[in-house]
Amino acid sequence: MTGKVYLVGSGPGGTGLLTQRAAEIIDAADVIFYDQLPGEEILSALPEKAEKIDCGKFGGRHTREQHEIESLMVDRAQKDLVVVRLKGGDPFLFGRGGEECETLRAAGIAVEMVPGVSSALAVPASVGIPVTHRKYASQVTILTGHEDPAKPEPALDWKLLAQSRGTIVILMGVSNLENIARALVANGKKPDTPVAIIERGLRKDRRVTTGPLSTIGDLARQAGVKPPAVIVIGDVVRLYDPAQPDLIPRGDA
């Protein structure tokens, strides 16, 4: 068997931040499993010769469940095909790349991981927010917003997070933002801690909503904030200046 699966990170959006290795692998692919996160600029440039399998999620509806995606990847690799699992950002940062790697290895499939520039770093940077800064934060915590702080045994230590002096970056957290903000304040985070919500990453229609932690949920609801978005909590948000030009050029609209 010569089939192989590549877990490819496409970065935060646009071909400009797609790595050279990722571009090479995509061009050589026989099959590409994709979702909407890489963005239209990258998706529209996928090679015509490749079979394309949609694995996207829309409004909570999964086009394909995770077990089905993994089963299909194993099937195509066992047919001696070059398979690409194309993801936004980096495959091993909340991209389920670790799970897929386990499944593929268990099936005896050769796997290679191609790292991508994470939106957790690049999206805040694009609007002038560094996630670390000697004056404001010497550590950064990246977490998934899918975690509900109100459930009986949350996987995250909200008290520890609230007491941290570093930056908190939340991915996939728009729908749960009010609960997250409430939990942080209840566990000791200052209510006036600045927050930035950066919608649509490096696209031309990007939008930034800012406000204090205590009211950011209300502000987001009033503004009609929608995913995908990166949420930054911490004093580094004070460096955001909407009058300044982008630090990273934006790509597709």
Q: Which residues are catalytic?
A: 35, 57, 172
Residue with tokens 């077990």: 67
Residue with tokens 């996939």: 172
Structure token digits, residue 32 = 């590409």
The separation between CA 135 and the C-alpha centre of its own chain, rounded to angstroms, equals 27
Which of 170, 171, 193, 177 shows the shortest CA–CA distance to 225?
A: 177
Cα dihedral: 115, 118, 121, 126 (round 10): 110
C-alpha R_g of the chain: 19
Instruction: Please count the other Cβ atoms lying within 10 Å of the Cβ belonging to residue 96.
Output: 15
167-171 and 194-199 strand pairing? unpaired
Non-local (6+) Cβ contacts of 81 within 8 A are: 3, 30, 31
Which of 230, 125, 244, 111 shows the shortest CA–CA distance to 170?
A: 230
